[in-house]
Each structure stands twice: as C-alpha cells, then as structure tokens.
Amino acid sequence: MAAEPTREELEAALRWLVEAGADEAVGAAAVDRFAASAAEPAAGPPASESRPAESRPAESRPAEFHQGPPPAAGGTASERKAPAVWTPEARAPLSLDQGLAEARAAARAADDLPALYRAIEGFEACPLKKTASRTVICRGDPAQRVMLIGEAPGRDEDIQGEPFVGVAGRLLDLMLAHAGFERGQAYITNVLFWRPPGNRTPEPAEVQLCLPFVERHIELVDPRVILLLGGVSTKALLGDPRGITRVRGQWFGYRHEGLPAPIPALATLHPAYLLRQPAQKRLAWRDMISFKMVNRGDFDPLGV
C-alpha cells in the first residue's frame, strides 16, 4: 500500500499548485478524476445532464470533448480495457498573427456593444481564456461616456465576472465618489478580459490579442474622456514606452483610425499600486480632479 504523503510533501504540492496559478479550492475534498473515468461503465445508463461534461458518455458530451482513439482491435487486454480519458478536442493552436487576424475581424464585425461583448466571449485565441474562470468585460454606464481602462481581472473579478470588484476596485470607487462621480457613472473595463494565472504580469502577446477589442470598445463607447489606470493600459493604448510614474498626470490625445478626433486620455497610477504605496495617493487624487474637470468641460487638455 502506498505510504501516506508527509506534511512536507503535501505543502510542496500545494506550493506548486499556487505557483501554477491555482488559488482557489472548488471542493472540500480532492477528486481523483482518473479513478472516476476508470470506473465509467463501458455502456452505462443514459447520463444525467447534471453530471460534469467530462464524466458523461461521449454522445451526451459537448463537441469539444472526445474520447481518445479506441484501442486497436486485437490489442492486449490492458489496451482493450484502458479507461476512457476525456480530453478537450485539440484545435491546432493559432499563431499570434492568426489570432490577431481573428481578433481584428471579430472586433470589426461588432456593430454595437452587445455584439462586441459576444465577440469577446466567443474569442478563443487568447491563451488566458483557458486558465480563467470567466470573461470579464465591463461595469458601469457606457452612455455617460466616462471610460476607465485598467489592466486585467484579478481573483475577485475572475470569480464575480466584473472588473474592479476587489480591494483595488473599492479604492477606485471611493476615489470616484469623492471626486463627485455618481455610482455607476464611470464605465470601467480592462485591456485584458481574462485573469492571468496567479495575477502575473500579462505577456505582450496577450495584450496584443485583446487590443483590437479594446480599440473597438473605445470606438463604440465614444467616451468624452478616458482614464488609463496603470502602466499596462497606458503602454498598450498610448504606445508610450516610459514608465507610468513618468507619464502619470499627463493628458494625451488617444487616436485610432476609427475615431473622428483624438479623445483626451489621462494616465494615472493603478489603485493596486496605491494600496502598496499609500503616499502616492495624493498624486492619483490630483489626477482624479483633473479628470473630473476635463469631463465637466472646465478645460480642454488637448487645446492649443
């Protein structure tokens, strides 16, 4: 009989999982999926739809699941009895160029916001989608034309399906409220729609793949002002290679071919950074006031 794992071995396994990005337990007890599929009867009773897809017989499973190739006729007994292992149907991975072409075509085809949300939900070429639990797109009222763009969903956003609903989001909401924005007035989104595993910094290719959707998002919302929260969204949308501490507080004209005129965009510090560096809140507060004034039409930051 195999020896019970030691506490050190269990801790090492847990550390490995956390480093791989698993930061949530979905059940109180571990489930051995291999044993479960080995116990699957060869021709069992009709499956209940309420069972997980991977444990249902092939005919009732969605198309993306398939059974591995059947053992060759005349193979050994152990080959013939090999348990079915359900694996997602392999779609050859797209190259970055192919993924980008798909993203551009899907974003361009979206004529309104609901169509864009559907296009993002249906986009499979960004690898982050495979590890995230949810697609996170936006919250707030697009009709108010006040657009805030952050980096990527974190753990809370991945669970709840809305951007900036964790502790950084609460700080952002407080700042908006103190600057006089009504609840829900700001329309909040991110440059990435899926949580990077373990909240790691997004890869440039991941940002690139989402960018056509973000650009179309901006065109469709047609904001009066844009607030870029942190370095990732600032770099992605303004293409300015300087760090956020250099460019924060500065207004830029955000340009894109689909826009009739540049949109005033202000770069500021990310709320998660402010939680780690509370002394910097005064700078972010200054930015928020400037953002509020431009939204109100008190001054034109792009005027000559």
Smallest gap from residue 154 Cβ to ligand URA (A): 4
Q: How many chain residues touch ligand URA (CB under 6 A)? A: 13
**Whole-angstrom distance, CA of residue 283 vs CA of residue 245:** 10
Contacting residue, 57, 99, 153, 196, with ligand URA by CB under 6 A: 153
Structure tokens that stand for 228 in this block: 């870029």
For ligand URA, the closer of residues 225 and 272 by Cβ is: 272
> Phi and psi for 281 in degrees, rounded to 5?
-60, -30
**Whole-angstrom distance, CA of residue 298 vs CA of residue 217:** 26
Q: Is 164 in the site for ligand URA (CB under 6 A)?
A: yes
Q: Which part of the chain contacts ligand URA (CB under 6 A), choosing from 27-35, 49-57, 73-81, 151-159?
A: 151-159
Which amino acid, one-letter code, is at 242?
R
Length of the chain, please?
A: 304
Smallest gap from residue 114 Cβ to ligand URA (A): 21
State the binding string over 168-207 for ligand URA (x if CB under 6 A, else -): xx--------------------x-----------------
For ligand URA, the closer of residues 140 and 153 by Cβ is: 153
Q: Is 128 helix (H, G, I), strand (E, B) or coil?
A: helix
Nearest partner of 301 among 228, 189, 224, 244, judged by Cα: 224
For ligand URA, the closer of residues 116 and 149 by Cβ is: 149
**Whole-angstrom distance, CA of residue 35 vs CA of residue 38:** 5
Q: Is 158 in the site for ligand URA (CB under 6 A)?
A: no
State the binding string over 219-258 for ligand URA (x if CB under 6 A, else -): ----------------------------------------
Q: For residue 67, what are the CA distances in angstroms to 34, 54, 90, 106, 138?
A: 14, 10, 12, 31, 37
Contacting residue, 154, 202, 212, 231, with ligand URA by CB under 6 A: 154
Nearest partner of 287 among 272, 271, 267, judged by Cα: 267
Smallest gap from residue 185 Cβ to ligand URA (A): 17
Strands 65-67 and 251-254: unpaired
Which amino acid, one-letter code, is at 46?
P
Which residue is closest to ligand URA by CB?
Answer: 150
Q: Which part of the chain contacts ligand URA (CB under 6 A), choosing from 72-80, 89-97, 145-153, 244-252?
A: 145-153
Check: CB of residue 161 under 8 Å from CB of residue 187.
no
Q: Is 295 in the site for ligand URA (CB under 6 A)?
A: no
Check: CB of residue 136 under 8 Å from CB of residue 191.
no
Strands 138-139 and 146-150: unpaired
Strands 146-150 and 263-268: unpaired
Contacting residue, 163, 212, 231, 264, with ligand URA by CB under 6 A: 163
Q: Which part of the chain contacts ligand URA (CB under 6 A), choosing from 86-94, 153-161, 215-223, 277-285?
A: 153-161
Window 255 to 294, contacts with ligand URA (CB under 6 A): 272
> Residues interacting with ligand URA, by CB under 6 A?
150-154, 157, 163-164, 166, 168-169, 190, 272
